[in-house]
Homo-oligomer: A and B are copies of this chain.
Amino acid sequence: MAGDAREALLDRCVNLLKEGGFSQLSLREIASGAGTSHRMLLYHFGSREGLLTEVVRRVEAEQRAALADLAAELDDPVEVSRRFWRRLADPALAPAERLFFEIYAHALFDKSWTDSFRASVIAAWAGPVEELFTHFGWAGPEARRRARLSLAATRGLLLDLLITGDRDVLDAAAELFAELITAPPPTGA
């Protein structure tokens, strides 16, 4: 297939950027780190921005994939919430998440190559999580705000974990949140 090599190349670039970020990496540095030439990056992606656009799309897709099987088994709410955190706090994901937050920061300044990211970073998650709360018995706006708060708290905890590495306190904090957010069942236990 044609775009096969391109995809493999993108893979290697994304993996590279997960290690050290992209903001101060030149096209040539990215290329050499990914085992190719800056000429090839331009051939496949048109420009540095074109490459970053694809990188962002990829990270966004990984995000979606991570969400997909998260609510697979819908047992009790606290357990779902715990799974949520346990999954994200996995050290193996740290590089990907650092890259995620770096893109997030650039998106705050409306960089045009972050368009797809901005569109999905909240929306793609808020919907499903809201449905989850609905499923567990919270109605309409109450489910919405609970979903939004869950998303925010989780990301905040993750950001803290990534920068301090204080896993114990943050695991405890995440556990507390799981209990708090699901605590008073709306219709009664």
Q: A138-153 interface mask toward B, CB cutoff 8 Å, 1 = contact, 0 = none?
A: 0001001110110111
Say yes or no: A109 contacts B160, CB within 8 Å. no
Q: How far is the CB of A97 from chain B (nearest CB, A)?
A: 9
User: Distance in Å from the Cβ of A180 to the closest Cβ of chain B?
Assistant: 4
| A145→B170 CA distance, assembly (Å) | 7
Q: A104 at interface (Cβ–Cβ under 8 A)?
A: yes
The count of residues in chain A whose C-beta lies closer than 8 Å to any C-beta of chain B is 45
Instruction: Flag if B24 contacts A163 (CB, 8 Å).
Output: no
Contact among B101, B106, B146, B160 for A23, CB-based, below 8 A: B106
**Within 8 Å of chain B (Cβ to Cβ): is A59?**
no
| Chain B min CB distance to A13 (Å) | 16
Q: Which residues of B contact A141 (CB under 8 A)?
A: 172
Shortest distance in angstroms between A45's beta carbon and chain B's nearest beta carbon? Answer: 18
Which residue among A24, A152, A160 has the maximum number of chain B CB atoms within 10 Å of its CB? A152
- Asked whether, in the complex, the Cβ of A105 is within 8 Å of the Cβ of B107, the reply is no
CB distance from A174 to the nearest CB of B (A): 8
* Contact partner, A157, options B101, B107, B149, Cβ 8 Å: B149
Q: Which of A138-187 contact B (CB under 8 A)?
A: 141, 144-146, 148-149, 151-157, 159-160, 162-164, 166, 169-170, 172-174, 176-177, 180-181, 183
Task: A102 to B177: give the CA distance in the assembly, Å.
Answer: 26
Q: Smallest Cβ distance from A74 to chain B, in angstroms?
A: 22
Q: How many Å from the CB of A181 to the closest CB on chain B? A: 7
A122 & B154 in contact (Cβ 8 Å cutoff) = no
**CB <8 Å contact, B160 and A122:** yes
A107 touches B163 (CB 8 A): yes
